[in-house]
Amino acid sequence: MLALLALVCSLAVAAETPPQSDAPQSAIVSGRVLDADTGRPIPGALVTAYGSAAASVTARILTNQGGFFVVRGLHRGSLALTAVKSGFVDAAYGQQRPAGGLQMIAIDEGQRLVDLDIRIWKQGALTGALLDETGDPVIGARVRAFRQIFVAARRRYTPAGEAITDDRGVYRIPHLTPGDYIVAAPSTQTSIPAEIMDTFFARTGTDAARADLALEMRSIDAPIVPAGSEYALAVGGIAMTLPPGTATPTSRPSGGLLVYPTVFYPAAAVAAQAGVVSLRSGEERGSIDMQLQPSRSVTLSGMLGAPAGMASHVAVRLLPVGGEALGEDVATATTITDSTGTFTFLGVPSGNYVLSVLRVPRLQQAPDDGSKITVQAGGVRVSTAAPPPGPVPPPPIPADATLWALVPVTVGAEDLTNIVVPLSPGPRMAGHVEFDGAETPPPPSVVATLRISLDPADGSAPPQGIDYDAGHPDETGQFTTYGVPPGRYLANVTGPSIPGWFFKGARYEGRDIADTPVEMTKSDITGVVLTFTDNPSRLSGTVRTNGSADPAGLVMAFPVDEDTWSSSGSRPRRMRVARADKNGLYSFANLPAGDYYVVAVRDDTPGDWWDPARLRSLSRAARQVHLTDGEQKRQDVETEARR
Amino acid sequence: MIRAAALLAIAVVAAHPVEAQTRDAAAPATGTASIAGRVLSDTQPPRPLRRAVVTINAPDRTGSTAITDDAGRFAFANLPAGRYTLSASKRGWVAMSYGARASGRPGRSIPLADGQRATATLQLPRGAVITGVITDQNGSVPQGVSVRVMRYAYAFNSSEKRLLPANGSGVDERGVYRIHSLPPGEYYVAAFGPRDFFSQSRDLHLTSDVDVQEAQRAVQAGPTTPVTDVVQRGVGVTPVFYPGTPNMAQATAITVRAGEERAGVDFTIQYVAVSHVSGTVQGPDGQPPVNARVTLVTNTPSIPDTGIEGIRNAFLDNRGQFDFSAIAPGQYVLMARMAPPGPTGPNAPPPQVLSSIVDVDVQGDDVTGLTLVLQEGLTVTGTVRTDGTAPPPRLNALRVNLAAVQTGNAVNISTGGTTVRDDGSFTLTGVTPGRYRLTLFAPTPWLVRSATIGGQDSLDLPVEIRESIDDAVITLTDRKSELSGRIENGAGGADYSIVLFPENRAFWVGPARRILTARTAADGTYLFGNVPPGDYQLAAVDDVEPGEWYDPAFLQRLAPSAMKITIAEGEKKVQDIKIGGGG
């Protein structure tokens, strides 16, 4: 749903036709929401209009008994329609499959359109029971499903849904689209120095120090709970939290803890060994049962080596080897260093791990501006602070280094103590922003709203804390990013779009590091030029099938150079899809210059288009297109039978 | 529904005033006593509960946690002498304190001498389950509905019983909800519609047949003919109580026994017409304000409040206009606040805060044209003082709050508090008129002795603030007073709830710091570890519902048989109680 909405919202922002001001006759559209499998109308579906045509439409519409909806008050522009209904996958007008490409509808003033039917597909669901080693149900535990996707030509898993087991140990994860899933009962042992918990409960230290700590705790999802309570065990000055959602560990008579490690269906310890559950459209798959097994565990402790003061109160994660496809989502254990930089993980089962530290410089906390209020009504007291209205200028990038460490650790049957983990500063990127064109460059205040992202080329998740704002230019266009862990990165621009200007590329040592990864090692990279153009290149045309326009077509464009597929990061700008409109027209706006395969397919069966094997197969039937800077190229394509 | 407490005639046995001691000696971290035991199910026959979380607590000491093994066993060793309370919880079961008469009731503490080895068994009832299906009036599953079970209980800050949420659940795509781990008791079940914290949520329109017919006619007529305007009214979901009524008074209670699964608690939600609430916020200069936030708070007596969901925020556009959509009929409080940018830093002057509050009554029609003119809020200025011999606390780590005192069902809105300056002074800005207590969390060994405004201690008598205040004084002391004793009823193992309450009835404003309760320990002794000095009445009752002690009617009934007692600052008073002839 989020992905669909994000797409729709970006369309809404990108559309440029404003509603006309001289009170023209508004347009009306109507249609039905239909079950894609049976054709039956669906009453009670929630229809929402997006896009520039719907700028003044403020309502969501519930379909009537006949499945009908009517949207009034539309104006000239483009329109997207979405439909949401319990038991069905979130849908949009024009989709040929669940979660497929949606189609924009061009609206004219006063236009009346009926028969805009939205097809909606039944959801898939995964259900099962979670039991412990004696067959007792595990109650109140979190079970998560991850869907297989391809990012930068690699198989990865993205969170697709989750549920909490009930008093019978039963869980049910609904609203799943067709695809391949893995299912886990994740378990993370979180150990927090009791002195840190005391900071909150005995209110030692300052508000600012507490706010900093709370942020660091949140980065590892650590609850703030008193040690020695029903929410946290206290073991030797360390509070091991007993959060809802995880099975309760216990202590062994001979000392040490018995913990319930993460289990992947059917009985695997890491994602790489998990069984894949393939879910068809509308399929409900039961008996995805898992059994937790207690595991002896040890304590792992040591110290971070860093300049004075920089090692205290830093989050440390212990990630299982074999879980890379899940990113840092499912850690085996997490902790925070105490004020001396010492860390202690309790409850670590034997296995191979990577100890991961990333200390992003801390920003000055926003001062108390009197906006926080406490509302007390009907026996409930709630503290709230409304976020400030409108965009907030980003805080300046701190001068402190980003410190990082990645250390492999093998845990056996004995405690590991005195591990010394030196932290190293991560390299930064610096440069400036250029506006290359005839248009008037945007004012400095607008330049300062841009955000620069550093995206790992292999498609892994960007460093937490600086994922969408690795840096931003000042009003003169100069920028220096946060430090990042060494690796291969792509430089990109995110944040609000500037009307009339389009990001063209990131120049560094004669190449474009928006597409070709730059190796960031120990030293900083300087002299990067982020270029904007007012004359973006564009590839557009008509999708045809048997000589006539094909409104059901989906056009894909991807680089001819296959080697670049695996280093395109998580937001590739050269691997794009565009849905044909009702006249078969497609368009790729601001496609960077280069050599592309362009191919039209029918988007009617589930699957992942970015599987490299499928791309390779599609490329054999694709047209090759050479696009130059600023070129407005037209290229008609024939729909391929799906392969 | 106030439960009549069994009143007991009590007589003074002896009072041994103990000389004020300087300070508690720091509690030793470890000792030689121990408690071991088992957690069992409250079933016949009992069975061990594994992986239950057992916590042990004693006054002035950090608690400890143990988790039961496969035989349900737990142990706490190396305990210093003291009075310990134990409680156990396990998901799917109902948490209980050791010796408690029911879930949520206080347990009995276990006094431990050095070297003593005690045993304790805790029995947990299996949680009950309430489950059913929610549909809308078309028989279809509504979007975003959640279900809560509620029960009547004393709210933490109120002296009357209210319907309070006990547990909740989402509704899945089949309309099914399932709420488990409930203590046995009487519950009300309600379905709530989706309510968003922010008002970007769009209106919800039902599509009418007329609407569809008009659209189809408009298509046939062509673009030049005008369209008949069909009024599309916004709808929403207001809370509905089982078996299907929006009126709390007509709701049917569901009584569940321990471990009972009550299925078929199905009901239907209704869409009701909702309104827009819109208007303009003006700065003191009549101009649209920059950076103002608008908040709308539910204040409808018939709808149980569910906290954050009763609060919605809206943004102002650049003309100072706001528009809340999908507002259900009811009473609301609308508030605008704004803090103009100013200097910041540890010792910067406090932010000036402008605000405006109006009551809004929504009865199905849109409420438009509201105007809120921001005005400077009231200011409360004062000082924090210490009176004692312990090392003074770091003043600039202390935080002062104004806690609004609930009157009737009114919504109270208070500021977020302020940090004390290095010199002990503080200033709270943006205060809206109302009744308040001035509060501060004092670090050990310090206690708040008084927090006066105009000489009146707001901790005992909430102060009505109608204009700015500059004479607030918070005084901290390190001299803690204590009251303890033994109950003798001639039969041994006396088990009572002891209620200590102020002689001055004006102080009976819940949650009053001078109204204290304790359950007798297993050896018939009781302890109040921190009693503000003053004149009190002391009574013993057979049983009391949590929170009931703030009910003036309850205290009224206790007063005639209660014993008068005066406690001085720093005093460790011992007061034994003899329960007289057959009570």
pLDDT in tens, A95-104: 988 988 889 9
Do B414 and B543 lie in one domain? The reply is: no
- Pairing between strand A632-634 and A576-579? unpaired
Report if residue B204 sits inside a domain.
no
Average pLDDT over residues B481-487: 93
The amino acid present at B501, given as its one-letter code, is F
Report if residue B150 sits inside a domain.
yes
pLDDT tens digits, B147-170? 999 998 887 666 677 788 888 888
Quick one: pLDDT at residue B385? Answer: 95
pLDDT band at B272 (very low <50, low <70, confident <90, very high): confident
Do A304 and A236 lie in one domain? The reply is: yes
Report if residue A222 sits inside a domain.
yes
Q: Give the residue from chain A lying closest to B396, CA to CA.
A: A206
Answer for the pair A121, A96: CB distance below 8 angstroms, yes or no: no
Do A323 and A273 lie in one domain? The reply is: no
Domain count, chain B: 5
Chain A residues in contact with B173 (beta carbon < 8 A): 86-87, 123, 125, 174-175
Quick one: pLDDT at residue A416? Answer: 95
The CATH number of whichever domain residue A599 belongs to comes to 2.60.40.1120
Do B156 and B244 lie in one domain? The reply is: yes
Inter-chain CB proximity B443 and A66 less than 8 Å: no
Q: Which residues pair with B373 in a beta bridge?
A: B282
The CATH number of whichever domain residue B438 belongs to comes to 2.60.40.10
Last residue of a domain, one of A120, A151, A178: A120
Do B177 and B268 lie in one domain? The reply is: yes
Quick one: pLDDT at residue A393? Answer: 65
d(CA B419, CA B417): 7
Q: Which residues pair with A149 in a beta bridge?
A: A156
Do A267 and A206 lie in one domain? The reply is: no
pLDDT tens digits, A417-428? 999 999 999 999
Judge whether residue A167 has pLDDT over 90: yes
Instruction: Give the range of the structural domain holding residue B521, as residue numbers without chain letter.
Output: 480-579
Last residue of a domain, one of B226, B250, B272: B272
Q: Which of A61, A228, A382 sits opposite B63 (nearest CB)?
A: A228
Q: CB-based contacts of B75: which residues, under 8 Å, 6+ apart?
A: B34, B35, B36, B37, B66
Report if residue A280 sits inside a domain.
yes
Token pair for B190: 């309600």
The upper half-sphere exposure of residue A530, i.e. CA atoms within 13 Å in the direction of its Cβ, equals 28
Inter-chain CB proximity B409 and A111 less than 8 Å: no
Report if residue B220 sits inside a domain.
no
Judge whether residue B473 has pLDDT over 50: yes
* Reported ipTM: 0.85
Report if residue A604 sits inside a domain.
yes
Average pLDDT over residues B377-390: 92
The amino acid present at A4, given as its one-letter code, is L
Do B87 and B144 lie in one domain? The reply is: no
pLDDT tens digits, A393-422? 677 888 889 999 999 999 999 999 999 999
Last residue of a domain, one of B98, B124, B150: B124
Do B116 and B165 lie in one domain? The reply is: no
Judge whether residue A532 has pLDDT over 60: yes
Last residue of a domain, one of A120, A151, A179: A120
Report if residue A376 sits inside a domain.
no
Do A584 and A633 lie in one domain? The reply is: yes
Inter-chain CB proximity A368 and B89 less than 8 Å: no
* E strand segments, B377-496: 378-387, 399-404, 412-415, 418-419, 425-431, 434-440, 447-453, 456-457, 463-465, 469-477, 482-488
Inter-chain CB proximity A250 and B399 less than 8 Å: no
Most confident of the following: A367-381, B118-132, B202-216: B118-132
Quick one: pLDDT at residue B39? Answer: 97
Do A44 and A86 lie in one domain? The reply is: yes
Do A354 and A447 lie in one domain? The reply is: no
Q: Which of B69, B316, B353 sits opposite A389 (nearest CB)?
A: B316
pLDDT tens digits, B126-143? 999 999 999 988 788 887
Last residue of a domain, one of A95, A120, A145: A120
Min Cα distance A44 → chain B (Å) is 7
Instruction: Give the range of the structural domain holding residue A520, as residue numbers without chain letter.
Output: 426-533
Inter-chain CB proximity A376 and B157 less than 8 Å: yes
Q: Give the residue from chain A lying closest to B510, CA to CA.
A: A379
Quick one: pLDDT at residue A392? Answer: 61
Min Cα distance A25 → chain B (Å) is 8
DSSP A406: E
Interface A-B, measured as beta-carbon pairs within 8 A, has a size of 282
Inter-chain CB proximity A69 and B180 less than 8 Å: no
3-state SS class at B559: helix
Range in A45-59, A372-386, B330-344 with the lowest mean pLDDT: A372-386
Q: Which of B172, B305, B429 sits opposite A377 (nearest CB)?
A: B305
Q: CB-based contacts of B139: which residues, under 8 Å, 6+ apart?
A: none
Quick one: pLDDT at residue A203? Answer: 66
Mean pLDDT of chain B: 83
Chain B residues in contact with A248 (beta carbon < 8 A): 51, 53, 67, 90-91
Report if residue B198 sits inside a domain.
no
Do A570 and A489 lie in one domain? The reply is: no
Inter-chain CB proximity A44 and B304 less than 8 Å: no
Q: Give the residue from chain A lying closest to B159, CA to CA.
A: A379
The CATH number of whichever domain residue B259 belongs to comes to 2.60.40.1120
Do A501 and A480 lie in one domain? The reply is: yes
Min Cα distance B158 → chain A (Å) is 7
Chain B residues in contact with A378 (beta carbon < 8 A): 155, 162, 304-305, 310, 409
Quick one: pLDDT at residue B344? Answer: 57
Do A307 and A322 lie in one domain? The reply is: yes
Domain count, chain A: 5
Q: Could you tell me what percent of chain A has a pLDDT over 90?
A: 61
Do B473 and B393 lie in one domain? The reply is: yes
Do B358 and B407 lie in one domain? The reply is: no
Do A338 and A200 lie in one domain? The reply is: yes
Do B557 and B509 lie in one domain? The reply is: yes
Average pLDDT over residues B470-486: 94
Inter-chain CB proximity B162 and A379 less than 8 Å: yes
Average pLDDT over residues A460-468: 77
Chain A residues in contact with B441 (beta carbon < 8 A): 203
Inter-chain CB proximity A379 and B95 less than 8 Å: no
Inter-chain CB proximity B215 and A30 less than 8 Å: yes
Most confident of the following: A219-228, B334-343, B479-488: B479-488
Judge whether residue A68 has pLDDT over 90: yes
Do B391 and B351 lie in one domain? The reply is: no
Do B185 and B143 lie in one domain? The reply is: yes
Per the model's pLDDT, the better-predicted residue between B528 and A110 turns out to be B528
Last residue of a domain, one of B376, B411, B430: B376
Q: Give the residue from chain B lying closest to A166, CA to CA.
A: B180
Report if residue A459 sits inside a domain.
yes
The CATH number of whichever domain residue A470 belongs to comes to 2.60.40
The amino acid present at A494, given as its one-letter code, is T
Inter-chain CB proximity B404 and A376 less than 8 Å: yes
Chain B residues in contact with A251 (beta carbon < 8 A): 66-67, 69
Judge whether residue B579 has pLDDT over 60: yes
Chain B residues in contact with A140 (beta carbon < 8 A): 91-92, 181
Do B79 and B92 lie in one domain? The reply is: yes
3-state SS class at B310: helix
Neighbours of A109 (CB within 10 A): 16
Quick one: pLDDT at residue A37? Answer: 93
Quick one: pLDDT at residue A169? Answer: 96
Report if residue A382 sits inside a domain.
no
d(CA A204, CA B399): 11
Do A499 and A522 lie in one domain? The reply is: yes
Report if residue B201 sits inside a domain.
no
Q: Give the residue from chain A lying closest to B181, CA to CA.
A: A167
Cis-peptide into B243, omega within 30 deg: yes
Do B189 and B146 lie in one domain? The reply is: yes
Do A517 and A443 lie in one domain? The reply is: yes
Quick one: pLDDT at residue A199? Answer: 84
Answer for the pair B214, B228: CB distance below 8 angstroms, yes or no: yes
Min Cα distance A493 → chain B (Å) is 27
Judge whether residue A630 has pLDDT over 60: yes
